[in-house]
Structure 1
Amino acid sequence: MKYLTLILVVFLVTTSCNQDKSKYIKNQGQAHGTFYHIIYESPNGVDYHDQLRSTMQRIDKSLSTYDPVSVISRINQNDSSVVLDDHFLNVYRRAEEIANETHGAFDITVAPLVNAWGFGYTEPQRTDSVSIATILEYVGYEKVHLINGNLNKDTAAIQLDASAIAKGYSVDQAAEKLEKKGVKNYMVEIGGEIRVKGQNPNGLAWRIGIDEPTEDQALMDRKIQRILHINKGALATSGNYRQFYEKNGQKYAHTINPKTGYPVQHRLLSASVLAPDCMTADAYATAFMVLGFHASMDIVEQHPELKAYFILSGEEEPFEVKYSEGMQSHLKD
């Protein structure tokens, strides 16, 4: 599964310590078109990598638009024989809730627009005003209905894309798998989306770095803008400064507004969301990049379970940082 909607890399930051780290197991590999890193203190010294990898593979079989026989692909192909599995249902229901809460800024039916602008799973298409207006006729989460375990689309042209929420869901599934095994200290990271609990191998809160927003693609040249200290929760970051392309001198950001059909253009460069679960953090981070800073902060203030850290382009300085009141406790020097 290849995800293009989340573009920031969030780094795990560790420090040296004399504490014995032998109890912590490290797993890493590739899944969902990206890399994952999982660190956990196994109570019995058991390595759960095979089970975690199997979980990620099952999620791909449900939610990957790059797998032609996945559940979501068969829905997009209007295959009436498709059976919705628990993974799809869990993600779809949460996606619908967040779509309502963000007034459609997060929309799982955005696939035709993402594809048209060249950020999806097909080749770029026409993006003139007439073609965008046509596509918008079959974009809108309210045009899809879950009835008696079946998904009904108002028109066959509607296409779903769960990439802005499925990776966070996969992080949650891996984390919950570890918790069922009695693991109390862990960090699960897939493509920059993270969920942590307890302490890191140094006996401290997990330290997660947020990228400084620059267009440089080189990993070694990336700078960490701020470090968050987290004992429990999930962090997802979305932004526009690396995923874009230029055409006729115009930059086109990868975040598409489902209401207008066009890439967003505002001062918000990145949105990092801290939530109890990564599926929620993932979806809100994407929605906030559509909404911009002020509307996003309004939503955070209405949801005490959410905390947010925003980086905007500055008027005098290169960057301007804003964050919700709840984020303050995680910003230790």
Structure 2
Amino acid sequence: MKRPCFLAILLVVLFSCQPQAEYVSNEGFIYGTIYHVTYESPDGKDLQEGMEAVMNELSRSMSTFDSTSVISKVNKNEATALDEHFVTVFNRAQEISDITDGAFDITVAPMVNVWGFGFKNKEQVTADLIDSLKNLVGYQKVRIENDQLVKEHPNTMLDASAIAKGFACDLVASYLDHQGCENYMVEIGGEVVAKGKNAKGNYWSIGISKPDDNEFFAEQKLKAIVELKERALATSGNYRNFYVENGVKYAHTIDPKTGYPVQHSLLSTTVLADDCMTADAFATAFMVSGLEKSVAMVEAGHNIDVYFIYSDDEGNLKTYVSPGFKRLLKKEFE
């Protein structure tokens, strides 16, 4: 008569010993920035070590600050095998360069470097220097052939920083998928991939910063909050990374066609796409292109949605929000 009771107790004990799913949060430093990842681990296991292994593997391929990376060897014209990550990033970069008419271009590295925003020291910029660099820059001047990167000019250099960080988010998300995680948010330096819901059962909410040159050391203010449903998000802006020299402000976004920092009304571009690599690259391309050209590209399709913040003729902040993005907005601030 007591066996059922004993069996029930045994089942409870056995069940309680099984690993339980729980939300885990990790953060760390990678690619010169901070990352945050929150995920529902099926067995409660902390997956930070595996995620960092994924991020470091990409660094060994695409980091220009690692002299032994694949991209560094390519830039130094050393014979090296192109790994899968390099090929994936390069091919997508070329596709987006073609779509954006060269506004996005990973061969812009020499120009970014001379202005002091790259992986080499700033130089004294002159019109003659910029003209000479134009011979090195152009996505049509590089290609993959027989598993090697072929350059038209040996001094052409690549910089994938405007696309590889987004790809890193995609890789970490893929790793979490393979670990059985159905709910997660991956953020690396402002680029985000989200899936499922958070610990409260809500879709992940992501803030979009209000552009303000004077808020660098102050509390970050938000312009909007978007609900991220099974998509990736990336933001680019010139209000954080710039310097002033002789009274002139120089922003970090360099136009590959002119060789000079962009100067237009578009202050911040936030892009939603199916993958973060695509969102990352388009966000940069739009910062180069300016408001009118960027809106035209968005309206042409490409399966992306955007939230643009720009300044009108009187210096007031205005926004352009695509219909798909507008449906996901939770709140906007003045």
TM-score (normalised: structure 1): 0.91
Match runs of 1:273-284 below 5 Å: 273-284=271-282
Q: Give 3-state SS (helix, strand or coil) of 2:107's partner.
A: coil
Q: Give deviations 1:153-192, integer Å, cap 9, x for gaps.
A: 0111100000000100000000011111221110000011
Q: Does 1:244 align with 2:253?
A: no
CA distance in 2, matches of 1:304, 1:101: 9
Deviation of 1:71 after TM superposition, in Å, equals: 0.3
Q: Give deviations 1:61-97, integer Å, cap 9, x for gaps.
A: 11000000100000001002x1111111110010010
CA distance in 2, matches of 1:246, 1:23: 47
Aligned twin of 2:35: 36
RMSD: 1.4
Aligned twin of 2:107: 109
Match of residue 91, structure 2, among 90, 93, 96: 93
Q: Give deviations 1:126-174, integer Å, cap 9, x for gaps.
A: 3111110001111001000111211100111100000000100000000
Match runs of 1:136-285 below 5 Å: 136-218=134-216, 220-285=218-283
Aligned twin of 1:55: 54
Q: Does 1:74 align with 2:55?
A: no
CA distance in 1, matches of 2:258, 2:225: 35
CA distance in 2, matches of 1:264, 1:197: 34
Match runs of 1:119-130 below 5 Å: 119-130=117-128
Q: Give 3-state SS (helix, strand or coil) of 1:24's partner.
A: strand
Amino acid at match of 2:62: L
Amino acid at match of 1:77: K
Aligned twin of 2:16: none
Q: Give deviations 1:274-314, integer Å, cap 9, x for gaps.
A: 00100000000000000011111111122252000000013
Amino acid at match of 1:41: E
Deviation of 1:332 after TM superposition, in Å, equals: 2.5
Aligned twin of 1:133: 131
Q: Give deviations 1:230-265, integer Å, cap 9, x for gaps.
A: 121110000111211111111111100000111111
Q: Give 3-state SS (helix, strand or coil) of 1:177's partner.
A: helix
- The aligned length equals 312
- Maintained 8 Å contact 2:24/2:46: yes
Question: Runs of 5+ in structure 1 lacking a partner?
Answer: 1-20
Deviation of 1:37 after TM superposition, in Å, equals: 0.4
Report sequence identity in percent: 48
Q: Give 3-state SS (helix, strand or coil) of 1:308's partner.
A: strand
Aligned twin of 1:5: none
CA distance in 1, matches of 2:313, 2:235: 23
Amino acid at match of 1:65: T
- Maintained 8 Å contact 2:38/2:185: yes
Match runs of 1:7-22 below 5 Å: none
Amino acid at match of 1:329: R
Amino acid at match of 2:34: F
CA distance in 2, matches of 1:289, 1:101: 15
Q: Give deviations 1:21-66, integer Å, cap 9, x for gaps.
A: 9810111111111110000011222221111000111111110000
CA distance in 1, matches of 2:217, 2:140: 40
Q: Give 3-state SS (helix, strand or coil) of 1:225's partner.
A: strand
Q: Give deviations 1:194-219, integer Å, cap 9, x for gaps.
A: 00011111111110000000013545
Q: Give 3-state SS (helix, strand or coil) of 1:228's partner.
A: strand
Aligned twin of 2:291: 293
CA distance in 1, matches of 2:101, 2:210: 29
Amino acid at match of 1:188: V
Q: Give 3-state SS (helix, strand or coil) of 1:36's partner.
A: strand
Q: Give 3-state SS (helix, strand or coil) of 1:28's partner.
A: strand
Match of residue 82, structure 2, among 70, 81, 84: 84
CA distance in 1, matches of 2:50, 2:116: 35
CA distance in 2, matches of 1:143, 1:320: 38
CA distance in 2, matches of 1:226, 1:317: 19
TM-score (normalised: structure 2): 0.91
- Maintained 8 Å contact 1:63/1:166: yes
Amino acid at match of 1:68: S
